Amino acid sequence: MKSNHESADSTASSPVPAPPDRHPGNPFVGLRVAITGGTSGLGLALVRELLNRGARVAFVARRRDRVEQVRHELPDSHGIVGDVSRKEDIHPITMQIVGALGGLDVLINNASDLGPMPLKLLADTECEELERAVATNVLGPFRLTKALLGSLAASAREGREAVVINVSSDAALNAYARWGAYGASKAALLHLSRIWDEELSQEGVRIFSIDPGDMDTPMHAAAVPDADISTLKRPEVAALELADAVAEVLSRRPIVQEAFA
Ligand SMILES: NC(=O)c1ccc[n+]([C@@H]2O[C@H](COP(=O)([O-])OP(=O)(O)OC[C@H]3O[C@@H](n4cnc5c(N)ncnc54)[C@H](OP(=O)(O)O)[C@@H]3O)[C@@H](O)[C@H]2O)c1
């Protein structure tokens, strides 16, 4: 009773801005989403899925021709050319995301590097190959999230639920031989996500790590060329599951799983 009374008083003396309009049954309408690695596999499927649900979407990838191709196919999207593993690209990527969307509610760190190709034992892995995997899979998401935290926190203050999804893998949990650079970097990303969520959830910014499961994508084909693709998930299915997980967070329900595999 007492706290209710106090909050009513404080609202009267300093009005809290009303949350922006949202379609009651669809938390994605007008949602501002940035996705790294949006020109292939899961990232591209996510761009399509979230646009279809009514979100405003900016995506990032390194190859300009692919970014332009996706922009042409999905003219409502905003394509950004950039490399998340390069420190000097983070500020321009951030400025373009915020400029295109006018702020940010959801960041999906999806771009990833497998390390040595073909996959190698750790003893045969070059330091530079491990460095590249860590730069793409850990430092990239860390720098980009840090650079966008102000926008995400502003979104939370405006009454939206701000969310960062870091795309993980079962290799973050299991010690698969020859997946050392990738697995170690994904494990670091998973733990970074858990700690950051502890630190930021009180401010309304939630940070999750999600394993989409084995998917039929160019990355999987490069890593396991002889895989039976009939056993792999379509990236469109993983995108739908991931979007549903984002919807759960947006509706302020606790996410129940970290893996869809
Ligand atoms: N496929 C699977 O079975 C599987 C399983 C578990 C987890 N995952 C995870 O799911 C996510 C998506 O994987 P995927 O299989 O969909 O990959 P994918 O088909 O290879 O697509 C990767 C995307 O990321 C972009 N990219 C790569 N490095 C980048 C960088 N440094 N900066 C910016 N963009 C970059 C690529 O475009 P450019 O090359 O033009 O930059 C491309 O758009 C990854 O995090 C992966 O670890 C995949």
Answer whether 260's CB lies under 8 Å from 253's CB.
no
Give the model's confidence band at 5: pLDDT under 50 very low, under 70 low, under 90 confident, else very high: very low
Asked if pLDDT for residue 22 goes beyond 90, the answer is no
**Res 258: pLDDT:** 54
Which position has the token pair 């990236």? 235
pTM for this structure?
0.91
- Nearest residue by C-alpha to atom 30 in ligand 1: 83
**Res 11: pLDDT:** 30
Residues with catalytic function: 182
Summarised one tens digit per residue, pLDDT across range 32-61 is 999 999 999 999 999 999 999 999 999 999
Asked if pLDDT for residue 256 goes beyond 90, the answer is no
**Res 25: pLDDT:** 77
- Nearest residue by C-alpha to atom 36 in ligand 1: 37
Helix (H) or strand (E) holding 183: helix 180-200
CA of 36 to the centre of ligand 1 (A): 8
Which position has the token pair 């469109």? 236
Is the Cβ atom of 83 under 6 angstroms away from ligand 1? yes
CA of 113 to the centre of ligand 1 (A): 7
Atom of ligand 1 nearest to the CA of 171: 6
**Res 91: pLDDT:** 98
**Res 161: pLDDT:** 80
Is the Cβ atom of 63 under 6 angstroms away from ligand 1? yes
**Res 260: pLDDT:** 57
**Res 13: pLDDT:** 33
Summarised one tens digit per residue, pLDDT across range 119-156 is 999 999 999 999 999 999 999 999 999 999 999 999 99
Sign of torsion over alpha carbons 170, 254, 33, 53? positive
Summarised one tens digit per residue, pLDDT across range 207-239 is 999 999 999 999 999 999 999 999 999 999 999
230 vs 249, which has greater pLDDT? 230
CA of 89 to the centre of ligand 1 (A): 17
- Nearest residue by C-alpha to atom 34 in ligand 1: 61
Report how far residue 79's alpha carbon sits from residue 67's, in angstroms, rounded to the nearest whole number.
6
**Res 6: pLDDT:** 28
Counted residue by residue, the chain has a size of 261
Q: Which CATH number fits domain 26-250: 3.40.1180.10, 3.40.50.720, 3.40.50.2000, 3.40.50.150?
A: 3.40.50.720
Site to probe by mutation for ligand 1, drawn from 67, 94, 107, 112 as the one with most ligand atoms within 8 Å of Cβ, is 112
Cα 233-171-179 angle, rounded to 5 deg: 110
CA of 61 to the centre of ligand 1 (A): 9
Cα 65-66-69 angle, rounded to 5 deg: 90
**Res 23: pLDDT:** 60
